Amino acid sequence: MSQVFKALSDPTRRRVLHLLRAGPLSAGDIADQFDVSKPTMSAHFAVLREADLVHTEKVGKSVIYHLKLSVLEDALLGFVHSFGLDAQASGPREETAK
């Protein structure tokens, strides 16, 4: 889970994940959305892969990135459970006195 939160801690990587919500994109198409060097984008892609938030497929000379939403959902649910927030959210709500 810590790798997921490390990946999510950077705004560039969060934006990459946001772009991938619309569907798979090539590394070049993603990189075109950012004003950073190719080595910098490669490092961001590596962190996302290490966190298992994306998977890749090779299509010809292109690398296509796919969002692995289930990993993100699992990490966020684990985070919620670790603080006991799930019990608060699903438990009965008390009415406030008027």
Find the CATH number of the domain harbouring 24: 1.10.10.10
Number of domain units in the chain = 1
Summarised one tens digit per residue, pLDDT across range 9-55 is 999 999 999 999 999 999 999 999 999 999 999 999 999 999 999 99
Domain that holds residue 16: 2-86
Asked whether the beta carbons of 13 and 7 are under 8 A apart, the reply is yes
Question: How sure is the predictor about 96, in pLDDT bands with cuts at 50, 70 and 90?
Answer: very low
Question: How sure is the predictor about 71, in pLDDT bands with cuts at 50, 70 and 90?
Answer: confident
Task: Judge whether 91 lies within some domain.
Answer: no
**What is d(CA 30, CA 15) in angstroms, rounded to the nearest whole number?**
10
Radius of gyration for the chain, computed over Cα atoms and rounded to the nearest angstrom: 17
Task: Judge whether 93 lies within some domain.
Answer: no
Question: How sure is the predictor about 98, in pLDDT bands with cuts at 50, 70 and 90?
Answer: very low
Percentage above 90 pLDDT, the chain: 63
